Structure 1
Amino acid sequence: MAEIYLRGLQEKDAPYMLEWMKDPAIACFFRFDAQKMTVDSCCDFILKSGEDSRCRHFAIAKKDTDEYLGTVSLKQIDQETGEAEYAISTRKKAHGTGAAFQATRLIWKVAFEDYRLRRVYLNVLAENQRANAFYRKVGYRFEYCEENAVEIQGVRKHLNWYAINRKQYMEIAENESFK
C-alpha cells in the first residue's frame, strides 16, 4: 500500500492533473468537458483554489517522493448546516494502491475534526460501477438514486447519493488508525 499524505495543490501538479482529466477511462464519467482542459487551465485552478473558503482541494502525494497521485476535495463547505461535498480523482497509476482509500480517510479527518462537520456527502453516476464499489468499501452509506439527474452529451443519467455522518466516522476511526 502506498504511503500518502495530503498537501496543498502546487503548480508542478498541473501536468499530472491533466493526465487523469485526459484519460478516457476516467474522463467518461466527468460532468465537465475535460478535453477543453490545458496545463494552463489546471494552473489557474490551482492558483484560485485557495481563494474560496467554501472549498478545500488537496493533492494526494506519495510520502517518499511527493509525487502527485490525485486530488481530494471538500466542496460547498457549509458551517451552518455542517455539511460538505466530497470529491476525489486519481491518476491511473494510483488505482489499486490504496491511495484513494487513505486520502478519503484523511479528508474525513479534516471534515469531522478540523471543520467539525456533521455530514459529508457525494454523488456519482450510477453507471460508474468502480466508483460506487469504492465509496461503499471506504465507508460511505448509500442514500438514494436520483433518476435522470444530469445530462451528459445529450443523455440523461442517474446519480447515486452517498454520505457519512460524524457518528459513523467516529465508529470507523475508533477501529482504525487514521494518520
Structure 2
Amino acid sequence: MKLRELKREDMAGMLEWMTDPYIRQNFRFGSDKIDEKSVLSFIQNAGSALRAPIEGNTIHYAIADEESDEYLGTISLKAISIANKHAEYAISLRRKAQRKGIAIEATKEILRLAFVKYNLERVYLNVFSDNIPAIKLYEKCGLVLEGEFRNHLVVEGEYKSLKWYSILRTEYQGKYGIPINN
C-alpha cells in the first residue's frame, strides 16, 4: 500500500465505491448526483499532496497498491486549520480492498503525514455510532473517543448518532514512538 496523488485513471475505482450500496450505508450524502463528471472534478480539485496544506482546504490521497499502482480508495485530511493545527480525517475503500489491513496501513501513514510533515496538533473524525468496523479501525490506530452526538442526523428518514474521535500529537508520538519536531 502507498499513498499518492489522485489521477484521472482512478475515476472508475472511485465511482465503484461511491455508488456501492454496501459502502454508501455509512455515508451521509446520496449517490444520485455522482457521475463521471463530478468524480473528475473531485480529482482535479483534490489538492496536491506535494504542496503544503492551505487554511480551510482538503488534501486527498489515493490509496494504491504498492506494486500495480491500482486505486484502492481515498484517504483525506479535510478542513485543515493551519492556525489551530488540526484537520478532519476521512477514508473510504473499494470493497475489494476491505478487511485486508489496508485501512490500518493507510491510516497510520496519513497520521504520520499529519503530525510529522504537516505539523498538526490534532486529527479528528466523526463516524456513525453503528459503524462498528470503522470504530474498531480508529481505536486500533490510537484515536480516542471524545463523545457522542445522539440522534444528530437524519439519513434516509432515520436518526443517526455520531461518535467523535481524535488523536493528539503527543498520543500519536506515544503510540508510534516517532519523534516529532515542534
Aligned partner of 1:171 in structure 2 is: 174
Q: Secondary structure at the match of 1:36?
A: coil
Q: Deviations over 1:15-39 (max 9, x none)?
A: 1011111111110111111232112
Q: Deviations over 1:83-138 (max 9, x none)?
A: 10000000011111111111101101111011111000000000111111211122
Q: Whole-Å Cα distance in 1 between the matches of residues 158 and 95 of structure 2?
A: 26
Same amino acid, percent of matched pairs: 42
Note the C-alpha offset of 1:155.
2.0
Aligned partner of 1:130 in structure 2 is: 133
Aligned partner of 1:160 in structure 2 is: 163
Q: Whole-Å Cα distance in 1 between the matches of residues 12 and 29 of structure 2?
A: 18
Structure 1 residue runs of 4 or more that deviate by more than 3 Å after TM superposition: none
Q: Whole-Å Cα distance in 2 between the matches of residues 35 and 138 of structure 1?
A: 33
Note the C-alpha offset of 1:162.
0.4
Q: Which runs of 5+ in 2 are unaligned?
A: none
Q: How many residues align?
A: 172
TM-score, normalized by length of structure 1? Answer: 0.91
Please list, as runs of the form range in 1=range in 2, the aligned pairs for 1:22-41 lying within 5 A after superposition.
22-41=19-38
Q: Which amino acid aligns with 1:148?
A: N
Q: Whole-Å Cα distance in 2 between the matches of residues 64 and 106 of structure 1?
A: 17
Q: Which amino acid aligns with 1:77?
A: I
TM-score, normalized by length of structure 2? Answer: 0.90
Note the C-alpha offset of 1:172.
2.0
Q: Which amino acid aligns with 1:60?
A: I
Q: Which amino acid aligns with 2:104?
A: F
Q: Does 1:97 align with 2:100?
A: yes
Q: Whole-Å Cα distance in 1 between the matches of residues 71 and 175 of structure 2?
A: 27
Picking from 43, 54, 58, the partner of 1:46 is: 43
Q: Whole-Å Cα distance in 2 between the matches of residues 173 and 49 of structure 1?
A: 28
